[in-house]
Structure 1
Amino acid sequence: MEKNAAELLKKYLSGQCTPEEKAMVEDWYLQLPFQKKAPAAEQIEASHDEVLDRLKQRPKTRGIGYLKHIAVAASILLCVGLGFVLFNRKIEPMAGLAKKKLEDVLPGGNKATLTLADGSVVDLDKALNGEITKQNGIVIRKTENGQLEYIIQDDPDAVSGTNTIATPRGGQYQVSLPDGTKVWLNAASSLTYSYPFAKNERAVALQGEAYFEVAKDKQRPFKVRANQQIVEVLGTHFNVNAYSDEPMQKTTLLEGAVKVVAGGNEVRLKPDEQAKFNAASTELVVDKNIDPDQYIAWKNEVFAFNNEDLKSVMRQISRWYDIDVAYKGKITTEKYFGEIPRSANLAEVFKILELNHVHVQVSGKTMTITGN
């Protein structure tokens, strides 16, 4: 049976909760990282039936925005499983040593290396602001806010060259390319590009994930080659997730139009649509029922989960916190919904994600998750 959430909250506010009940209420609160104050008991009772009704009617995919608009108190129902947590589940806090080790794992930040045309490598994290180098009539400089930009100068003797900017696990970086296109690189990603771009196209090669705001140029389409797919645009905003360890490569369009070619197939996207490419089956499909903001949440310093299993969640955690993840036993198949700030240390993140059937051990840079 479900506990009466309103009565439990009243007991908590009056200091009459048992240790187990107190842990339960605090666990609910931790699963609402953006909420600044606890909900009133009246909110819980008023929204409880409404939330259950909505969950029964919930389609296969719902955006994170939908989750935010459900009454705050009742959103304790939205964390795992079919979208809800049973009120009577037992809370098993992390062991003290594991929690301490996780607290020492800090989030990622602006980290990247730049490989120049001559093969030399610049550590952008350590490089001073200002001009880094001048090659082929183009000045490459690091800005005060930790971004990389290219400034084209007239040079009749300029010859083409190739640069690669790469982020490690636990790193991210923003670069403004020679044509004015802005690119945000997620962790464990790389972008290779020529400068100046060719006269008939602007081609880049991506490994990992990046968000693009492409400068308009009708004479030169912008092409992103990512694993086995090519994304072609003239000027638009879109996100490409093409990590090699992900089962599906996803191109999400926010503005403009793009063409995606993969596996011998071709699709065209409109805003708020997503192309999904399965490299194993070479199947390329369009998903029109998505919340695009979920797929660029990383760019806005947030993890956003919508019906994702634990291993999918942990792949994102692994890249951002530069840790390895191992599994033992039967791992839960419950699903996660919600948002977590990427600025949190790993202990805070795992407390929000922690389930009754999941236990964690930490050894060096490896986190082992043990199921039943």
Structure 2
Amino acid sequence: MDQDNRIDDLIAKLKAGTLTDEELADLTDWYNSFDDTQITLPTTGEDTVEELKARMYQRLMKQIKPGSHATRTRTMRWLPYTAAAILAVAGMWYVIRNTTNDPAAVEVTAEDIVPGGNRAMLTLADGRTVSLSEAQSGIMVGDGITYFDGSSVIGEQGDSRLNPADSGLQSHAHNRSLMLSTPRGGTYQIALPDGTLVWLNSSSMLKYPSRFDGPERVVELAGEAYFDVSKQQKKPFKVISDGQVVEVLGTQFNIAAYSDEPRTRTTLVTGSVRVVPSIDAGSPITIMPGQQSIIMDGDVQVAAVDTNQYIAWKQGFFYFDATPLEEMLKQIERWYDVKVVYKRGIPNETFTGKFRRDVSLKGAINILRLSLIDAKLANRTLIIN
């Protein structure tokens, strides 16, 4: 196979996600040997191999900081940028390094871990628990509790001890509190009694009533969830989470309130919400679509954000935009149910890009490999040196 055909074949494999480590090295060597001063973009508008090659170089040049090195000197130290440009063109992933430290070599074991999926536990009013079906994506709370396809949650268990009347599933004689919780590596949806839809992210908990009585609709959240609040009822809808209370009537928003993170973030997609800090020092604020409130130690800040970054998990993606390595790896840690350990302190890296959450952990580790982060997986522990 001649060189041009060989490179075309490697690019095709890259786009298909079947490129091996050796082939990536070959593609990188080819990239580093090309004379970028002669590159111009084709004007045909077709997504040809030549156009892919040209776009690789243009993106690479935009990512390298001016003055760091002569642009013609692209040895393996530029691999993060090289791989970044190639993968961006392939529509898969790109990485931007914001550090001047020399990268270390990468070590990855043959061990692999599957991604998370539909996993959740329903806690009934009497304290008993139901492990929900992984074949289902969510449950509906009404006169009883069913999966989205109409099948019975209780019937799925085959356990006569789970009496619906005793557990508040079908009897509304008394308003009862229920709880939906997801483990690390789990996500689930729930349609609340008023029609509000909630997507629960990994390692999260939603506490809610079997029906909404009184002048308000109140739920409690620990972790992260996306809410699409029903407007059918005019009662205010409140979400109590770490450090705040969010008040709405009918809108769509995301709350990230993990106990192991210092900030509670509320990101508004549509409508408007009122954020009330739990600490007396804070004053209530109203945020608008495209804004995010950030609460830390009672201090409230509002920033304009790309909402897609903060709701991508609901759509099955990881999405990072100059995201610090530690924050990125917290998401990896929860989704793959692993522990992240830093042996030599937290690297000063930020990441920008997007990839699907249904890839295995080995695929995610390969992203670290492209940026030359020293990562090793052993016994469900991801070690960062």
Shorter-chain TM-score range:
0.7 to 0.9
- Matched with 1:65 is none
1:117 aligns with 2:105: no
Shift of 1:296: 0.5
Question: Tell me, which stretches of 5 or more residues in structure 2 are unaligned?
Answer: 11-21, 33-45, 66-85, 155-167
Partners of 1:21 and 1:91 in 2: CA distance: 16
Matched position secondary structure for 1:187: coil
Amino acid at match of 1:191: L
Shift of 1:166: 0.2
Residues 145 and 169 in structure 2, CA contact (< 8 A), matched pair in contact too: no
Residues 193 and 204 in structure 1, CA contact (< 8 A), matched pair in contact too: yes
Shift of 1:23: 5.7
Cα pair distance change 1:140/1:21, threshold 3 Å: closer
Shift of 1:82: 3.9
1:142 aligns with 2:147: yes
1:201 aligns with 2:201: no
Q: Which has the higher strand share?
A: 1
Matched position secondary structure for 1:314: helix
1:286 aligns with 2:299: no
Q: Residue 265 of structure 1 is aligned with which of 260, 283, 301?
A: 283
Shift of 1:10: 8.0
Residues 200 and 219 in structure 1, CA contact (< 8 A), matched pair in contact too: no
Cα pair distance change 1:71/1:161, threshold 3 Å: closer
Cα pair distance change 1:162/1:286, threshold 3 Å: same
Amino acid at match of 1:241: A
Residues 278 and 284 in structure 1, CA contact (< 8 A), matched pair in contact too: yes
1:306 aligns with 2:321: yes
Residues 325 and 351 in structure 2, CA contact (< 8 A), matched pair in contact too: yes
Residues 309 and 335 in structure 1, CA contact (< 8 A), matched pair in contact too: yes
Partners of 1:230 and 1:79 in 2: CA distance: 36
Alignment map for 1:326-337 (pairs within 5 Å): 326-337=341-352
Matched position secondary structure for 2:193: coil
Shift of 1:247: 2.5
Shift of 1:119: 1.1
Shift of 1:131: 10
Partners of 1:80 and 1:180 in 2: CA distance: 42
Partners of 1:347 and 1:267 in 2: CA distance: 42
Q: Residue 41 of structure 1 is aligned with which of 40, 45, 50?
A: 50
Cα pair distance change 1:148/1:269, threshold 3 Å: farther
Question: Tell me, which stretches of 5 or more residues in structure 1 are unaligned?
Answer: 1-7, 29-36, 57-69
Cα pair distance change 1:241/1:130, threshold 3 Å: closer
Shift of 1:26: 10
Aligned pairs, number: 325
Partners of 1:244 and 1:291 in 2: CA distance: 24
- Matched with 1:4 is none
Partners of 1:366 and 1:49 in 2: CA distance: 38
Residues 93 and 354 in structure 2, CA contact (< 8 A), matched pair in contact too: no
Alignment map for 1:23-42 (pairs within 5 Å): 24=28, 40-42=49-51
Task: Give TM-score, length-normalised by structure 1.
Answer: 0.74
Cα pair distance change 1:113/1:71, threshold 3 Å: closer
Partners of 2:317 and 2:152 in 1: CA distance: 19
Alignment map for 1:36-185 (pairs within 5 Å): 40-45=49-54, 48-49=57-58, 72-73=88-89, 79-82=95-98, 92=105, 94-95=107-108, 98=109, 100-101=110-111, 103=112, 105-125=113-133, 138-144=143-149, 158-185=173-200
Task: Give TM-score, length-normalised by structure 2.
Answer: 0.72
Matched position secondary structure for 1:296: helix
Residues 331 and 358 in structure 1, CA contact (< 8 A), matched pair in contact too: no
Partners of 2:137 and 2:289 in 1: CA distance: 36
Amino acid at match of 1:327: Y
Cα pair distance change 1:90/1:211, threshold 3 Å: closer
- Matched with 1:3 is none
1:363 aligns with 2:358: no
Matched position secondary structure for 2:314: helix
* RMSD, aligned α-carbons: 4.2
Shift of 1:333: 1.0
Shift of 1:350: 1.0
Deviations 1:299-341 (A, max 9, x none): 0110001101111111000100011111111442121011111
- Matched with 1:60 is none
Cα pair distance change 1:9/1:343, threshold 3 Å: farther
Q: Percent identity?
A: 35
Partners of 2:371 and 2:63 in 1: CA distance: 25
Q: Residue 338 of structure 1 is aligned with which of 345, 353, 357?
A: 353
Cα pair distance change 1:168/1:39, threshold 3 Å: farther
Cα pair distance change 1:350/1:143, threshold 3 Å: same
Amino acid at match of 1:367: L
Partners of 1:268 and 1:342 in 2: CA distance: 32
Partners of 2:138 and 2:63 in 1: CA distance: 53
Cα pair distance change 1:26/1:255, threshold 3 Å: farther
Residues 317 and 356 in structure 2, CA contact (< 8 A), matched pair in contact too: yes
- Matched with 2:160 is none
Residues 10 and 41 in structure 1, CA contact (< 8 A), matched pair in contact too: no
Deviations 1:125-148 (A, max 9, x none): 37999999x9xx831112339998
Partners of 1:350 and 1:312 in 2: CA distance: 15
